[in-house]
Amino acid sequence: MNTLCIGLISVSDRASNGIYRDQGIPTLEAWLSRALITPFTTETRLVPDEQKLIEHAICELVDDYFCQLVLTTGGTGPTRRDVTPDATLAVADREMPGFGEQMRQISLQFVPTAILSRQVGVIRKQSLVLNLPGQPKSLKETLEGLRDTAGKIRVPGIFSAVPYCLQLLDGPYVETHCKIVESFRPKQI
């Protein structure tokens, strides 16, 4: 069986320089531990907002460590230093625009400036690479989606589509805890 390997990249000038402690990777690791039933391993990288370094980290995780899923956090805004989407697109084979569209849809439920986010989803080789927001609260909302007061999903999170996407890319069959995020797979005919 193909073991799920997930690459986690936190993009931050200040965290990579030791000015403050990175929160992106620990937040993602904790969320994945709660959400996934499928056993997985992680490879992590903390890099500054430098396009070539981000490109290198993505390529290394996909090409050398064979991560089927790479999640980045940070560097997706409109400033000159926010180059994570540019780096991701530079090393991509194909775009998966629905992921970025859904991430912005979720964020728009909270702030009108969500339209300034440039998050993208791409495929490199047989791996899915997703740019996530930098804030821990936003990470959870983006991955899980938004629920109403009764606990019913109001706006689906992006992770509900990830297991099926990985399956379509010949990756491992990924199962999730449905109380956290329910995986969507088409019904078999």
> What are the angstrom distances between the C-alpha of 58 and each of 68, 131, 188?
11, 11, 34
Digit-coded pLDDT (tens) for 43-69: 999 999 999 999 999 999 999 999 999
**Residues above pLDDT 90, as percent of the chain:** 82
End-to-end CA distance of the chain: give it in Å, rounded.
Answer: 25
What is the C-alpha to C-alpha distance for residues 86 and 112, in angstroms, rounded to an integer?
23
Digit-coded pLDDT (tens) for 59-116: 999 999 999 999 999 999 999 999 999 999 999 999 999 999 999 999 999 889 999 9
Least confident interval from 10-19, 32-41, 94-103:
10-19
pTM of the model: 0.95
- Beta-carbon contacts of residue 1 (< 8 Å; ≥ 6 apart): 172
What is the C-alpha to C-alpha distance for residues 9 and 93, in angstroms, rounded to an integer?
19
pLDDT-derived band of residue 20, with 50, 70 and 90 as boundaries?
Answer: confident
CA neighbours within 13 Å on the CB side: how many for 114? 18
Burial of 71 from C-beta contacts in 10 A (0-12 / 13-18 / 19+): buried
Burial of 103 from C-beta contacts in 10 A (0-12 / 13-18 / 19+): buried
Instruction: List the domains of the chain with CATH numbers.
Output: 4-168 (3.40.980.10)
Q: How far is CA 19 from the centre of its chain?
A: 24
Digit-coded pLDDT (tens) for 120-172: 999 999 999 999 998 899 999 999 999 889 888 888 999 999 999 999 999 99
Q: What value does the CA radius of gyration of the chain take, rounded to a whole number of Å?
A: 16
